[in-house]
Amino acid sequence: MSESGIIKIALPFFLLHAGEEFLFRYDLIDPTFQWIGSLVHLSSATVFLIEQLLVGALLIIAIWKPNKILSFIIGIAFLFELAHPINAFVAHSYAPGLLTSIPLIFLGFLFWRGLIKGLY
């Protein structure tokens, strides 16, 4: 499957994932959003929404104009999804974003496999 094909499949999952994280306030769990918010005088929820918009824009751009650097950045976004099951395991409870991270982790594996093989 092509890079843009995987991204096209992943895009709706990323949208659902953003919704799950927003609904269950992932911005309060991940200290990165609070730290960046304190630096730029924005709430953690605002920083979270800006980050989600940037990721969405990168995914859309990558569908139309794929390149290696953008693919690497998107690959990093896929890797970040591993944090959800790890957080859930450590806390022995649900972590915001856990449910929708599962298909994204699988798609991320396919994405990275292609990057490593140089197919993209």
Helix axes 44-64, 68-80, angle to 10 degrees: 140
Give the integer Cα–Cα distance in Å for 99 and 32.
21
User: pLDDT exceeding 70 applies to what percent of the chain?
Assistant: 98
- Return left, alpha or beta for 25; rule: phi > 0 is left, psi -120 to 50 is alpha, else beta: left
User: pLDDT exceeding 90 applies to what percent of the chain?
Assistant: 79
Instruction: Quote the pLDDT of residue 120.
Output: 45
pLDDT in tens, 16-29: 999 999 999 999 98
Average pLDDT for the chain: 92
Instruction: Quote the pLDDT of residue 2.
Output: 77
pLDDT in tens, 32-64: 999 999 999 999 999 999 999 999 999 999 988
Per-residue pLDDT at 119 exceeds 70: no
Instruction: Select from 110, 84, 86, 93 the least CA-distant residue to 20.
Output: 84
Please state the domain extents for the chain: 3-117
Per-residue pLDDT at 71 exceeds 60: yes
Give the integer Cα–Cα distance in Å for 74 and 80.
10
